[in-house]
């Protein structure tokens, strides 16, 4: 139905704007201004709010996620989908870190490791990880409050 198509194209940008997930294949949306400035490494948050209006396809989003720099992503999930055994009518926001890390190193450890990797004597690469976490709270099915301490990421950084 044409109206449904219009509804989807109207609500999708709104849904992403409001950080709501859209279907099980959604990877969530990036959180603006999530570049973490830490002692070891500065993540460039350039292009955090990429325009999503162009592509809705999950594969296109996956490609874009892997291509984008290390940043904080946000998913809205029903509590049951956290996979921790809780049940609630509420949906909560779960944030995680993903993205590519530049190969440049900022510590002596990083410099040596990068050299060894270049020589094929060490494996892997810097990876995007949370540097801070936040609690998630909700009222469960039995109307008891639950607090999941440090469940969600709050800031990301590339670490070696």
Question: Interface residues with other proteins (CB under 8 A)?
Answer: 3, 6-7, 10-11, 14-15, 17-20, 76, 78, 89-93, 134-139, 141, 143, 145, 147
Give strand ranges (E) for 47-117. Answer: 71-78, 91-98
Question: Minimum distance between the CB of residue 5 and other proteins, rounded to whole angstroms?
Answer: 11
Among residues 27 and 154, whose Cβ is nearest to other proteins?
Answer: 154
3-state secondary structure of 145: strand
Question: Minimum distance between the CB of residue 88 and other proteins, rounded to whole angstroms?
Answer: 9
Question: Minimum distance between the CB of residue 40 and other proteins, rounded to whole angstroms?
Answer: 27
Question: Minimum distance between the CB of residue 147 and other proteins, rounded to whole angstroms?
Answer: 6
Give the residue from 72, 90, 87 showing the smallest Cα distance to 155.
Answer: 72
CA gap 157, 70 in Å, rounded: 7
3-state secondary structure of 17: helix
Among residues 78 and 102, whose Cβ is nearest to other proteins?
Answer: 78
Q: Which residues of 59-69 are buried (b: 16+ CB within 10 A; e: fewer)?
A: eebeebbeebb
Question: Minimum distance between the CB of residue 91 and other proteins, rounded to whole angstroms?
Answer: 6
Among residues 40 and 81, whose Cβ is nearest to other proteins?
Answer: 81
Among residues 42 and 137, whose Cβ is nearest to other proteins?
Answer: 137
CA gap 101, 106 in Å, rounded: 12
Task: Let me know: does 72 contact 153? Beta carbons within 8 Å.
Answer: yes
Among residues 26 and 127, whose Cβ is nearest to other proteins?
Answer: 26
């Amino acid at each position: 139905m044409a109206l449904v198509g219009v509804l989807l194209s109207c609500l999708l940008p709104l849904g992403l704007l409001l950080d709501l997930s859209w279907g099980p294949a959604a990877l969530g949306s990036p959180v603006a201004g999530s570049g973490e400035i830490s002692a070891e490494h500065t993540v460039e948050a350039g292009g955090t709010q990429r325009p999503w209006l162009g592509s809705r396809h999950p594969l296109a989003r996956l490609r874009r996620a892997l291509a984008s720099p290390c940043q904080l992503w946000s998913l809205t999930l029903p509590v049951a989908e956290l996979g921790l055994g809780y049940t609630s009518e509420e949906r909560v926001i779960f944030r995680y870190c993903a993205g590519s890390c530049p190969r440049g190193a900022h510590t002596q450890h990083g410099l040596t490791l990068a050299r060894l990797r270049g020589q094929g004597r060490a494996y892997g690469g810097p990876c995007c990880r949370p540097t801070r976490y936040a609690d998630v709270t909700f009222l469960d099915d039995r109307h008891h409050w639950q607090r999941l301490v440090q469940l969600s990421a709050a800031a990301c950084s590339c670490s070696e």
